Amino acid sequence: MPLAPFSIDDAAAHVLTALDERRSIPPLTAQAGGLGLDDASRISRAVTKLRQARGEQPVGRKIGFTNRTIWDEYGVHHPIDGPMYDTTVSHISGAVTGVSLGRFVEPRIEPEIVLALRAEPEPGMGETALIGCIGWIAHGFEIVQSLFPEWKFKGADCIAAFGLHGALLCGPRTAITAANSTAMLRALTDFSVTIRRNGEVMDKGHAANVLGGPLSALRHLAEAIAQDPEASPLAAGDIITTGTITRAFPVHPGERWTTSIDGLALPGLDVAFAG
């Protein structure tokens, strides 16, 4: 059953207050009336308006659940997306220490590929055309979070609650140019990422995990937005993070997380977390 229209703003205020107070709430889908995907998207847009009203500005999108190898683990079997903000995206270089986890609820860490748009991608574009829409790429850690206890939710809950986005730590950029676009296009379908916690290998993932590769994830996003008349279009300058290449892992103060990349000319990350 859909939410009554007057409930959309109330639900948006509810999830944003929980975020600000760093507390868990029951899944919206478990409450009286439930929650469908369309109303979840309306809640997401209402949250964005609330965040803009207090000075936060959208700077791009995160795409979640592009990694089909983790769909059964979370019980969500389709991609989602949500906005990222100037308050949640940070650009880092080299080893970074003391990154605070204090503002997140049940945070987890995900290694991702980040794409910055130079032009709006159109639905139906092939990957050769899509690479021409990219100004630069980078490797990043997304800190995802769940307002819903023990990460138990449905896809609509995730959409309503920020797409699970907490923060993006974006590493050094590599420009896409006429000279390197063909090599980058090939590499973006055939690289791997190894993630380590305190030096111990936790997982290794391949580009194909994210819907076949980061450009395929971008194509999915462009097509999903085109099918939603209420969605804001993608635009030049937007930053898009394309989904976790490995499993997502709980992250705690005192831990150091590092990555290494094979087959793609981007440096790994080295981040130590604090409370």
pLDDT tens, residue by residue, 166-210: 999 999 999 999 999 999 999 999 999 999 999 999 999 999 999
Place of tokens 């300058």: 237
For residue 211, which of 62, 65, 111 has the smallest C-alpha distance?
65
Largest CA distance in the chain: 56
DSSP string, 176-237: --TTTHHHHHHHTTS-EEEEEETTEEEEEEEGGGBTTSHHHHHHHHHHHHHT-TTSPPP-TT
Share of the chain above pLDDT 70, in %: 97
Distance CA 79, CA 221 (A): 9
Provide the token pair at 222. Answer: 């462009």
List pLDDT tens digits, range 56-77: 999 999 999 999 999 999 999 9
pLDDT in tens, 242-257: 999 999 999 999 999 9
Q: How many Å apart are CA 209 and CA 205, to the nearest integer?
A: 7
Q: What is the pTM of this model?
A: 0.95
Average pLDDT over residues 129-139: 97
Flag whether pLDDT at 231 surpasses 70.
Answer: yes
Token readout for 262 is 């094979």
Task: Grade residue 5 by pLDDT with cuts at 50, 70 and 90.
Answer: very low
Q: Which residue from 73, 185, 188, 96 is spatially nearest to 143, judged by alpha carbons?
A: 96
Q: Is the pLDDT of residue 133 over 50?
A: yes
Beta strands 58-64 and 239-241, pairing class: parallel
8-20 tens-digit pLDDT: 999 999 999 999 9
- Condensed to tens digits (0 to 9), the pLDDT of residues 147-159 reads 999 999 999 999 9
Residue 1, pLDDT score? 40
Strand pairing class (96-100; 270-274): parallel
